[in-house]
């Protein structure tokens, strides 16, 4: 199951990157490239709003088969359309939106069923594979997308994506599924089995619970920060130092990420929460340092920071996924994970738009002003890429402030968990 969904996720991300690159080449506007990411997030949220209240009532195996089938059909149809005649932007975005809506149902269903396939002792390793594979796909997709688009063309990329969805569907058919848990009558937050559903109702249930609320907050902040770093770091490095430094940075990030996966596999269950707080604190400090120009010139320190930040990503994501699976009852996970992922995708959308606004529209005019003291400008710098670096530095505070406020609530939860 994990291998099939990993392959399908990789195919989806590769095709999305190739589509964004193709739209950028067709329209010569960065907004066309960004339109793919925006449409994906909006389609995911719309899908959860429409079908979220039914996901805990539908057989999960059929949901995953239907989602893989719809995704395969959309990408294959778009591939044939592009081979037959030039496509305009609206049909392309429509197909992307339908595929993203199917992916939303797939992600929520697979995440909420993960604990049924593994024992309690294996839950940490399974969570690390589930959460860590997303980061690995994000890192590999741009390179694979560019290579496949150059060799097979965009239709070839889309056909490959369609085949990966079919392989994932075949894996879903071949796996023996465990018996589903009985439907709950009440939640631990005191909510009864209400006819309401969807993202808003799930978020309300999560927010009203003392244990789930801090986890929901820190999860949404972490996901948003990571999404912003994904687009900001390459833009900063290319603008400031060129593509050669970016290639080296990505290679070190890949090594660091692999080291983080190895580390997470050795974190014991009782230390999940402690490791989450430590790695998030480390990442907040590293991001804050990106706003200072001196670290950009200290190449050894800079590359070490890139590797350390990447190593902390799978540990943080694995810890969050493990805590979700442990603290939310298994029978409630399909319903409540609708709210969890809905807020995650909202955070991603806000992070993408906010980072672009900060780096392109807010910070450049501010640093051009003459009212700043000389020592501050010397510390922040004014060279190419510095606005993006300053925006990354602000991300450190975005991560640090919620973590600081939630430090004690998370600590109390850890004490409760150990009793």
The SS3 of residue 207 is helix
pLDDT in tens, 49-64: 777 667 767 888 888 8
How many C-beta atoms surround the C-beta of residue 260 within 10 A?
26
Q: Are 227 and 352 in contact (CB under 8 A)?
A: yes
Ranked by mean pLDDT, the top range of 236-240, 287-291, 311-315 is 311-315
Give Dmax (Cα) for the chain: 67
Q: How far apart are CA 190 and CA 211, in angstroms?
A: 13
Cα atoms found within 13 Å of the Cα of residue 181, Cβ hemisphere only? 16
Q: How far apart are CA 381 and CA 368, in angstroms?
A: 11
Q: Judge whether residue 349 has pLDDT over 80.
A: yes
- pTM of the predicted structure, to 2 decimals: 0.79
pLDDT in tens, 240-293: 777 777 778 878 888 898 899 889 888 887 788 888 889 999 999 999 888 777
Q: Are 317 and 137 in contact (CB under 8 A)?
A: no
Q: 118: which DSSP letter?
A: S
List Cβ neighbours of 185 (8 Å cut-off, separation of 6 or more): 192, 193
Ranked by mean pLDDT, the top range of 11-15, 51-55, 231-235, 306-310 is 306-310
Tokens encoding 222: 């972490």
Mean per-residue pLDDT over the chain, rounded: 78
Q: How far apart are CA 358 and CA 350, in angstroms?
A: 12
Q: Are 352 and 34 in contact (CB under 8 A)?
A: yes
Q: How far apart are CA 246 and CA 250, in angstroms?
A: 6
The SS3 of residue 186 is strand
pLDDT category of residue 418 using cuts at 50, 70 and 90: very low
pLDDT category of residue 408 using cuts at 50, 70 and 90: low
Q: What is the mean pLDDT of residues 63-76?
A: 88
Query: In b/e form, how buried is each residue of 215-246, taking b as 16+ CB within 10 angstroms?
Result: bbbbbbbbbbbbbbbbbbbbbbbbbbbeeeeb
């Amino acid at each position: 199951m994990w291998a099939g969904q990993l392959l399908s996720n990789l195919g989806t991300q590769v095709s999305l990157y190739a589509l964004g690159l193709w739209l950028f080449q067709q329209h010569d506007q960065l907004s066309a490239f960004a339109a793919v990411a925006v449409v994906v997030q909006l389609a995911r949220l719309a899908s959860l709003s429409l079908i979220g209240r039914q996901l805990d009532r539908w057989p999960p195996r059929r949901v995953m088969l239907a989602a893989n089938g719809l995704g395969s059909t959309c990408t294959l149809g778009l591939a044939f359309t592009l081979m037959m005649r030039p496509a305009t932007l609206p049909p392309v975005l429509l197909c992307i939106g339908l595929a993203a809506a199917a992916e939303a149902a797939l992600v929520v269903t697979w995440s909420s069923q993960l604990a049924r396939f593994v024992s309690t002792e294996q839950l940490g390793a399974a969570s690390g594979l589930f959460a860590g594979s997303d980061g690995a796909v994000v890192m590999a997709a741009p390179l694979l997308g560019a290579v496949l688009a150059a060799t097979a063309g965009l239709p070839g990329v889309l056909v490959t994506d369609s085949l990966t969805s079919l392989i994932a569907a075949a894996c879903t058919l071949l796996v023996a599924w465990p018996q589903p848990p009985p439907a709950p009558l009440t939640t631990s937050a005191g909510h009864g089995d209400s006819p309401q559903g969807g993202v808003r109702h799930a978020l309300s249930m999560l927010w009203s619970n003392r244990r789930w609320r801090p986890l929901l907050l820190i999860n949404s902040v972490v996901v948003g920060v990571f999404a912003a770093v994904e687009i900001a770091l390459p833009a900063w490095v290319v603008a400031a130092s060129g593509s050669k430094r970016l290639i080296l940075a990505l290679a070190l990030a890949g090594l660091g990420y692999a080291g983080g996966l190895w580390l997470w596999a050795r974190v014991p269950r009782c230390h999940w929460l402690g490791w989450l707080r430590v790695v998030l604190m480390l990442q907040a400090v590293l991001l804050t340092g990106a706003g200072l120009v001196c670290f950009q010139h200290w190449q050894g320190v800079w590359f070490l920071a890139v590797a350390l930040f990447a190593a902390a990503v799978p540990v943080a994501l694995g810890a969050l996924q493990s805590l979700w699976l442990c603290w939310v009852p298994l029978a409630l996970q399909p319903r409540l994970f609708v709210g969890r992922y809905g807020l995650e995708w909202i955070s991603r959308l806000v992070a993408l738009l906010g980072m672009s606004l900060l780096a392109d529209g807010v910070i450049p005019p501010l640093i051009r002003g003459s009212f700043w003291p000389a020592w501050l400008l010397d510390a922040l710098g004014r060279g190419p890429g510095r606005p993006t670096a300053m925006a990354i530095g602000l991300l450190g505070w975005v991560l640090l402030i919620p973590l600081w406020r939630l430090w004690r609530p998370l600590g109390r939860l850890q004490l409760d968990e150990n009793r």
